[in-house]
Structure 1
Amino acid sequence: MMGRFSNPVLLKELKLRFRAFKSFSGLMFYLAVLCIFVAGFLLIYTQFSGTGFFRPSDSFTMFAVLSVLQMGLVMFITPGLTAGAISTEREKQTLNILLTTTQSSTQIIVGKLLSSVVFLVLMLVAGLPLYSLVFLFGGVSPSQFITIFLFYLVTLIAIGSIGIMFSTITKRTIVSMIATYGAMIFLAGITAFFFFVGVSMEQMQAQTGNVQNLTPFSPITYFWASINPGALMITMLYPDMSNALESIVGISLPIWIVYLIFYMLITVICLFIATRKLRANMKTNR
């Protein structure tokens, strides 16, 4: 019974990843960046002395900036871990050997993805002691903390799926990595640009006096905000921003619902394409 759920590819990838020195060096660099930020933040807010006060509002500010910084690091590291999952096997000429095993395409793809996701989750868990300082000073509720980490998990799984897909359909790791980072730039930057363009166009129309008496309704602008990780994080940290967004686009549906549906669809579609394309060039004689 347990053999049906075992994944040798996942076990092999976990052993190789956690035995590699670069994995621990990357984890050390990640924690060093967070430690430097937290130490600098505390020193600045206490005015480089032991007599300064650190209010709960300051603690929430540290939590917000630390969450944004950690999200940026996750989005920067995830493509590097997943974009070469399959293309590296192809470059090392070990992919054909892997495909001749009894493992299905789904097991191979899911094993490669989960090995990267587990390492990223380890990075998030390793940063928990730094978040404990936030609860020490107060200003942050446990529900906000849990929501942020669930947001991390959904986002990194979706980004990992995009990296696995590009790694499968491209032959070179560098091409896959560029494509994955390009997708990240679109989701994090281009969508924000389109959102601000849509808001600016609505403001220009309102200034002309043609739509002053009409209730704002802009589903396209709402969609660009809904799929942007930064916009969702801001609305989770500052609920008042959600009300401001509703007044701009005229849609009361919380953006986290659209975000969750969109990124779950991205994950399923990317994994489906990767599974179908993994053995696309293999010929069967039946």
Structure 2
Amino acid sequence: MMNHFSNPVLLKELKLRFRAFKSFSGLMFYLVVLCIFVAGFLLVYTQFTGTGFFRPSESFAMFAVLSMLQMGLVMFITPGLTAGAISTEREKQTLNILLTTTQSSSQIIIGKLLSSVAFLILLLIAGLPLYSLVFLFGGVSPSQLITIFLLYLLTLIAIGSIGIMFSTITKKTIVSMIATYGAMIFLAGITAFFFFIGMSMEQMSMAQGTSTNQTPFSPITYFWASINPGALMLTILYPDLATSLESLVGISLPIWIVYIIFYCLITILCLTIAIRKLRANMKTNR
């Protein structure tokens, strides 16, 4: 039974990744960035303001900005860990050897993905002591922290799946990384741009009196906001923003429902494509 569920590719990737010096140097860089931010934030709110103490409202502000910063770091690091998972094996000419083993395509793809996800989870766990400062000063509930970390997990799995897919269907690691970062920029930046464009057009339409409905209804604008990680995080941190968004777009469905469905579908689709194209690429390269 244990042999049926074992994944040698995952075990090999975990050993190689966690023994590499660049992994620990990356972890150190990640923690240094967070420490600099937390120290700077505390310095600004205590010394420069002249108050000499830290209030719970300021603690929540630090938690919100720290959460947004960590989300940005996770989205920046994830493509670099997953975009070269398969293409690197192809460039080293070890992919054909890996495919001749008894491991199935799904075991290879999922093993590559889970090894990267495990390292990213280590980054999130390593940053927990910094979050403990927030609980020391108050203003944040444990449920908010758990929700934020579940959001991190879903987002990094989805972006990692996109990176694995591009790494499988492309022959060069640099092309895969560019495509993965492009998809990440679309999800984080272009969707926000489309959302603001949609809101501007809706407000102009209502101001000119061309809208036939008394209440706004913008499903496309709502969709752009629903798949944006920053928008979802802001609505989780500030529930009033979620209420304002519902009134602006005219849809009362919480955006986290659409977010979960969309990113789960993206994950399944990308992993399915990667599994199907893994051995097809080997036949093409012969």
User: Offset at 1:210?
Assistant: 2.7
Provide structure 1 residue ranges, at least 5 long, that are not aligned to the other structure: none
- Runs of 4 or more above 6 Å deviation: none
User: Offset at 1:228?
Assistant: 0.3
For the pair 1:54 / 2:54, whether they are aligned, the reply is yes
Query: Distance between the aligned counterparts of 2:243 and 2:51, measured in 1?
Result: 38
Q: How many residues align?
A: 283
SS at match of 2:242: helix
Which residue pairs with 2:277 in the alignment?
Answer: 277
For the pair 1:27 / 2:34, whether they are aligned, the reply is no
Q: Is the 8 A contact 2:96 2:282 kept in 1?
A: no
1:260-271 equivalent positions in 2, closer than 5 A = 260-271=260-271
Query: Distance between the aligned counterparts of 2:115 and 2:16, measured in 1?
Result: 10
* Shift in CA distance, 213/165, structure 1 to aligned 2, threshold 3 Å: closer
For the pair 1:211 / 2:211, whether they are aligned, the reply is yes
Q: Is the 8 A contact 2:9 2:112 kept in 1?
A: yes
Which residue pairs with 1:145 in the alignment?
Answer: 145
Which residue pairs with 1:234 in the alignment?
Answer: 234
For the pair 1:155 / 2:155, whether they are aligned, the reply is yes
1:101-112 equivalent positions in 2, closer than 5 A = 101-112=101-112
1:34-53 equivalent positions in 2, closer than 5 A = 34-47=34-47, 52-53=52-53
Which residue pairs with 1:76 in the alignment?
Answer: 76
User: Offset at 1:281?
Assistant: 3.7
SS at match of 1:47: helix
Provide structure 2 residue ranges, at least 5 long, that are not aligned to the other structure: none
SS at match of 2:85: coil
SS at match of 1:279: helix
Q: RMSD between aligned alpha carbons?
A: 1.2
1:108-127 equivalent positions in 2, closer than 5 A = 108-127=108-127
Query: Distance between the aligned counterparts of 2:46 and 2:250, measured in 1?
Result: 42
SS at match of 2:47: coil
State the Cα deviation string for residues 18-38 of structure 1 (Å, max 9, x = none): 010000000000000000000
* Shift in CA distance, 85/213, structure 1 to aligned 2, threshold 3 Å: closer
Query: Distance between the aligned counterparts of 2:133 and 2:161, measured in 1?
Result: 33
The residue type equivalent to 1:255 in the other structure is I
Which residue pairs with 1:248 in the alignment?
Answer: 248
The residue type equivalent to 1:119 in the other structure is F
User: Offset at 1:212?
Assistant: 7.2
SS at match of 1:93: coil
User: Offset at 1:47?
Assistant: 1.5
The residue type equivalent to 2:140 in the other structure is V
SS at match of 2:233: helix
State the Cα deviation string for residues 23-64 of structure 1 (Å, max 9, x = none): 000000000000000000001100259970100000000000
Query: Distance between the aligned counterparts of 1:246 and 1:49, measured in 2?
Result: 36
SS at match of 2:280: coil
Query: Distance between the aligned counterparts of 2:146 and 2:94, measured in 1?
Result: 40
User: Offset at 1:214?
Assistant: 1.5
